[in-house]
A and B are shown apart, each in its own frame.
Chain A
Amino acid sequence: MSEGKRTQPLLSVNDIHVYYGAIHAIKGVSFEVYQDEIVTLIGANGAGKSTTLNTITGLLRPKQGSITLKGENVTTLPSHKMISRGIALCPEGRRIFQQMTVRENLEMGGYTRQAGEIAASIEEMFTRFPRLKEREKQIAGTLSGGEQQMLAMARALMSKPNLLMLDEPSMGLAPILVEQIFSIIQELHGAGVTILLVEQNAQMALSVADRAYVLETGHITMEGKADELLHNDDVRRAYLGS
């Protein structure tokens, strides 16, 4: 993948600036994601990682800059149209529909697909996440944190995305669950899903990713191959605590 830059990127973020009212949260961020990569954005709390993902999906609008998907400008596309372009976001804090059942959550994940295809996809999700099968009729708000994360990922996968964006999938989970989530990410990647991963757990993120970008207070300060960044002294000091 490292030399894939000659081909057209799947997703390209070009010099975007995003504001929350008067606060300039993203100050000219640019990066690319190529087909079949795992790319990670790492950085401290408040660096602008989630803001970047929310801007890509159209939940926030950049004041400047553009976002292109396979060469098509999607900067002003409404967020509900992004999913049919093959982009799914598994948002920070999971944001599953707490008052709906597990099965209904999955159905909503397949909202844009034909009714006939949804049942088969739900079965696929139950094979990948057997715990969800056990909880099928349960109200999602009663699931444990780890189960909710799995549901959020399965719900995002229900649209059969080409690019899956994961926002802090390990947040608040026990170490054993974090391992599980990351092995699922690798499985999905093996199944042909391109992944853009935002993480505070830089160690885990860098160990599964192909390439990485370091985000600091709205700027990209470093980029490169994930294993190189994993051994970079500055990165180790700032994000890996060694």
Chain B
Amino acid sequence: MIFLDNLVNGISLGSIYAIIALGYTMVYGIAKMLNFAHGDVIMMGAYIAFCALQYWNLPPFLALVVAMLACTVMGVVIEGLAYRPLRQAASLAVLITAIGMSYLLQNLALMIWGANPKSFPSSMISIPTISLFGGQLKIAGATLVTILANIVIMVALTLFTSKTKTGKAMRCVSEDRGAASLMGINVNRTISITFAIGSALAAVAGILLCSSYPTLQPTTGSMPGIKAFTAAVFGGIGSIPGAMLGGLLLGVIEIFGKAYISTELGDAIVFAVLIIVLLVKPAGLLGKTVREKV
């Protein structure tokens, strides 16, 4: 039963990585940039949800909506102010700007909420713990919600990119920006929409993360952000199913590594697996290497 316990925890942590990784992978796929501020948008989303619950006494559902809306606006503004002017610049300049944006958000949080960790209210997800196998396997409400949210988001995003006009336009921009604009697709607007979706998902991820690991501080988003970025590369950056698979595997490997091999080396094991996968399959598990046909 400890094995099952670890598996469930791994899937739950992996689901959070997967939702964060979706933000990385979509932005990378469409805007061709690594948005290293993504992890900090997660932290901001968690803080906003915290305020909504603790100070404004909003019900959990409204807290979620407020956090998602605030992060959506934040993502679009960050993209418009910091990244759009650099659209033609070298990718290194954009990367450095993203790192700068990450620190800006962390310091902003430090200014507003201070350095003392806040305890994220458990009232956010008030579903009781479920006992299975006569109490041998316990699944926390937050875990259950996390896994379900991950599935819903995966299905919704897959439908969105395969069926809707905007979703298809995103795939076009991802493949060939110039050709997409020849079709009449507004590339800048499509990139804004991508940031909006990625940042709304960041708010969800922030709330789920802090529901399972309730210590909230300005650096809360950093490590999960880097792990999720790793998950996106692991699964094949630019690929939506890849981010899902990468996130889940990473979470499971991390929990199992910590449980059965070494608690201290848990993160090292995760990155060792990443290195091995990239040596064998440089494009990641589901990454595509597109060949040009003449």
Contact = CB atoms under 8 A, between A and B. Distances in A.
A95 B173 CA distance: 12
Interface string A196-208: 0000000000000
Contacts of A96: 179
A91 B182 contact: yes
Given A97-B175, A104-B168, A172 B181 contact: no
A141 B290 contact: yes
A98 B180 CA distance: 12
B175 A148 contact: no
B280 interface: no
Given A95-B176, A141-B293, A172-B294, A108 B181 contact: no
A97 B179 contact: yes
B184 interface: yes
Contacts of A221: none
Contacts of B187: 80
Contact of B182 (A83, A99, A115, A172): A83
B184 A84 contact: yes
A67 interface: no
A88 interface: yes
Contacts of B180: 108
A100 to B, nearest CB: 6
B182 A98 contact: no
Interface in A157-172: 159, 172
A99 B171 contact: yes
A16 to B, nearest CB: 19
B33 to A, nearest CB: 20
Contacts of B118: none
A1 interface: no
Contacts of B294: 145, 172
Interface in A72-111: 78-84, 88-89, 91, 95-100, 104, 107-109, 111
A82 B187 CA distance: 14
A99 B288 contact: yes
A84 B176 CA distance: 20
Contacts of A91: 178-179, 182
Contacts of A40: none
A108 B168 contact: yes
A104 B167 CA distance: 12
Interface string B168-212: 110110011011111111110000000000000000000000000
Interface of A: 57-59, 78-84, 88-89, 91, 95-100, 104, 107-109, 111-112, 115, 141, 143-145, 148, 155-156, 159, 172
Given A91-B179, A91-B182, A141-B293, 7 more contacts: A59-B182, A84-B184, A88-B182, A89-B182, A109-B183, A115-B165, A145-B293
15 contacts: A58-B181, A80-B181, A82-B182, A83-B184, A95-B178, A96-B179, A97-B171, A99-B171, A99-B175, A111-B183, A141-B291, A141-B293, A145-B293, A159-B183, A172-B294
